Amino acid sequence: MERRSFVGKSIAALIAIPLATRAQTPGGMPRIGFLNNLNPSVASASTEAFLRGLRELGWVDGRNVAIEYRWADGDMTRHTALVSELVNLSVALIVTAGTPAVRAAQRATKTIPIVVAIMPDPVSLGFAASLARPGANITGLANLFEELTPKQLDLLRELLPRARRIALLSDPAMGDRGIQSATEAAAGQLGFVPRVFQVADASALDAIIRTAKSERADAILVLPSPFFNRYRARIANAATMQKLPTISESTEYVQDGGLMSYGPSFPAMYYRAALYVDRILRGEKPADLPIERPTKFELAINLKTATALGMAVPRALLLRADEVIR
């Protein structure tokens, strides 16, 4: 099925606005810091979407803008050092995503604009005064995961009407229990008994998923985390081996073998982040640029995984899916 996106058409013509003169390369090109939680391979779809968005707005890396890439490779302890490198380069702005990376950037600079492609509630986390007027140097897109996980649990209930126990994979390095608490509360309201598994090391993933199975979990919900995103194929494989259905927030999980996902398109959000970069490079202030929320959410289902799990997916779910992998 054709995937649909909440991203609208890019603007047809560019308004000539003087470029910012600071944070340029010796050749006169603005320098952009791009801090990603993953690595170039795992993050390729989102990175390409961001570059495509820039190109459509007239910015081409190496031609009239220079992009400084930094990759955390799923290790959120690296953010502080990576952000420091970008700040020391005097970049014009920093593009990043996720609470740990944004927090590191916020601590490193109060003056360099920070464009966030993906983040939870920026107001409750202290990143912005409000969505309408952020008020500081951070702006971009917020997907409010606290509102997303209850819908994921609702989809699990539709898929598995007799399910009772739900395992929640949580990353303690995220440093924000808001999403976990909201998910546990929603699980109870839907008749699930949630069991939280804190995962701090990739080497523990297989054992934890085996433990979830031994404790008679009926399914796994993977809470948002760059760490889990880095190891999404490993999580999918381990869960399938234990005959445990999974749901997560990103279509990429399903493409790598997870059963089901529901959430905004991450590549689409990176594509949209390019517009914020364009507006800031042309003189606007991040404090005045409203933080957007996605309006389109995608449901993806992997029927190959369903077959491996020995389960049938209700036709009603398949008809609503934006992407079905057969």
Residue 267 CB contacts under 8 Å (≥ 6 apart), including other chains: 45, 46, 48, 49
Least confident interval from 10-14, 47-51, 165-169, 302-306: 10-14
pLDDT tens-digit map of 254-285: 999 999 999 999 999 999 999 999 999 999 99
pLDDT band at 18 (very low <50, low <70, confident <90, very high): very low
Give residue 28's pLDDT. Answer: 80
Q: What is the pTM of this model?
A: 0.83
Q: Hey, what long-range contacts does 87-92 have (CB within 8 A, 24 or more apart)?
A: 87/112, 89/31, 89/33, 90/22, 90/23, 90/31, 91/23, 91/31, 91/32, 91/33, 92/20, 92/22, 92/23, 92/24, 92/30, 92/31, 92/32, 92/280, 92/281
pLDDT band at 27 (very low <50, low <70, confident <90, very high): low
Q: How far is CA 21 from CA 32, 89, 102, 110, 112, in A?
A: 13, 15, 25, 19, 13
Note the pLDDT of residue 4: 38
List, for residues 152-163, the tens digit of each pLDDT value: 999 999 999 999
Spatial contact of 247 and 261, defined as CB atoms under 8 Å apart: yes
Model confidence band, residue 294 (pLDDT cutoffs 50, 70, 90): confident
Q: What percent of the chain has pLDDT over 90?
A: 79
Band of residue 176 on the pLDDT scale cut at 50, 70, 90: low
Q: Hey, is 186 helix, strand or coil?
A: helix
Say whether pLDDT at 13 is over 90. Answer: no
Domains and their CATH numbers in the chain: 31-143+265-288 (3.40.50.2300), 145-263+298-325 (3.40.50.2300)
Least confident window among 120-134, 172-186, 209-223, 312-326:
172-186
Can you name the residues that pair with 68 across neighbouring β-strands? 33
- Look-up of token digits 């994921």: 152
Pairing type for strands 31-36 and 165-170 reads unpaired
